Structure 1
């Protein structure tokens, strides 16, 4: 099957922060494009035993962005639960807009810190990590869920590609 959504990985290599943010952005975009052109029903469709849906993945990643970048990196309020259960009252458009807004907020927090080696504002389990660690964690988390999204999208309509 031809990969209809395939895009090349970033070629950015102009410094640690530039490279790290390029790969995080790439992973985020991979998740978002899996939702392109789908209906509300398709985005909420349960196709696996765990109950994971495309919209649930986006919802989860929204809160992950807020937990790691708003709370731990910038020192803002902890947004709370990071599960994949999308409340019925939230539309797909609401969830997708929320993810895009969380990404913008996260990118602003990353730029404000600037140096990947700087310590984050709020410790994780009593240990103060660096922005570098949070970037690596969120890139791997987002990429892992992008893979899940790719499989779900293929099951919905056959569309594939990173």
Structure 2
């Protein structure tokens, strides 16, 4: 194992043990993934955190910025007109600002979810021009979306400074 990977190794955190309800399991896994992806971005050095790590142009800070906007669209009803543009944070945004914005958005999304007792009901969000997805679909989608990008973040962070683990 290269010294850089050993130096930046964080211990792996196992998946959560949640209560038995479907909602508790879904929300527990989503929060686990949310924490994992935010931890990958926290402390990542400039300018590498916003430098493309793969030919597609994907970068670590852009992934978290994108996930912030997916959370806002899914749970808060915000409209996104250019999804491709969401993969790039503004040049003036610091790592700490993007992480804080993500965590604040997650807290707001969780406030919405705290009002949801029925997973088959639509997400209560202010968007009069379209139907909201069910809470179950929104949670499953966000687990898939966040998990997919958490995997990308794992690879990108290791390429930046050798940091591994969840």
TM-score by length of 2: 0.84
Q: Secondary structure at the match of 1:136?
A: helix
Q: Residue 144 in 1 paired to residue 158 in 2?
A: no
Task: Give the unaligned 5+ runs of structure 1.
Answer: 72-76
d(CA) in 1 for partners of 2:46, 2:106: 22
Quote how far apart the aligned CAs of 1:36 are: 3.0
Q: How many pairs are equivalent?
A: 156
Q: 1:74 corresponds to which residue?
A: none
Higher RCO (CA 8 Å, separation ≥ 6 residues) = 2
Q: Secondary structure at the match of 2:136?
A: helix
1:33-48 alignment, distance < 5 Å: 33-48=39-54
Structure 1 residues 126 and 102, CA gap change in structure 2 (3 angstroms): closer
d(CA) in 2 for partners of 1:115, 1:121: 11
Of residues 117, 121, 131 in structure 2, which corresponds to 1:118? 121
Task: Give the unaligned 5+ runs of structure 2.
Answer: none
The Cα RMSD (Å) is 2.2
Q: Secondary structure at the match of 2:75?
A: helix
For residues 42-93 of structure 1, what are the alpha-carbon distances to aligned partners after superposition, in whole Å with 9 as ceiling and x for unaligned?
311221111111100000000000000001xxxxx43554420211122222
For residues 11-67 of structure 1, what are the alpha-carbon distances to aligned partners after superposition, in whole Å with 9 as ceiling and x for unaligned?
113211111100000111110111233223231122111111110000000000000
Q: 2:68 corresponds to which residue?
A: 62
d(CA) in 2 for partners of 1:39, 1:138: 27
TM-score by length of 1: 0.86
Of residues 5, 10, 25 in structure 1, which corresponds to 2:16? 10
Q: 1:30 corresponds to which residue?
A: 36
d(CA) in 1 for partners of 2:160, 2:67: 21
Q: 1:78 corresponds to which residue?
A: 79
Of residues 133, 136, 141 in structure 2, which corresponds to 1:132? 136
d(CA) in 1 for partners of 2:80, 2:108: 13
Q: Secondary structure at the match of 1:138?
A: helix
d(CA) in 1 for partners of 2:109, 2:91: 26
